[in-house]
Amino acid sequence: MSLYVGSSAAIYIWKLQDPTWQDYACRLLMINQDVWNYETLDDVQLDGVEALVAKYHDEQGNPGITIFSGLDQYTLTISLVNNPSCTEALDEIDELTIFYHVVDSFRFSK
């Protein structure tokens, strides 16, 4: 999975093991709808695993991405890649924040 984000963005990854993870994700999104100004909300497949991806910005205009998925026995790898249309090189980006839930189930690579 490749994500093109700005130089200062937060990525939240929620690995939900409950079989009703979609319901939990929707409840959390509704609770935060006044704080997160949603831009897109998409159902996606990550290597055959269903996920829900919300892209938004906060009241200060800072971008964010939240990924919800029922990845009970899977590992999700997120790799940062250079977007050819961006003028800022990847190695100059130092403010990207990755938040993990169930830390040992995810791997982050640059």
Written as tens digits, the pLDDT of the chain (110 aa) is 444 444 445 666 666 666 777 887 888 888 888 888 888 888 887 667 778 888 888 777 777 777 777 765 555 555 555 555 554 444 444 444 444 333 333 333 33
CA–CA dist 95, 97 (Å, integer): 6
pTM: 0.56
For residue 108, the model assigns a pLDDT of 36
CA–CA dist 13, 77 (Å, integer): 11
Count the neighbouring beta carbons within 10 Å of the beta carbon of residue 1: 13
Q: Nearest 5°: phi and psi at 103?
A: -55, -40
pLDDT tens digits, residue range 32-41?
888 888 888 8
Go through 34-55 and write b for each residue having 16 or more CB atoms within 10 A of its CB, e for each that does not. Answer: eebeeeeeeeeebeeeebbbbb
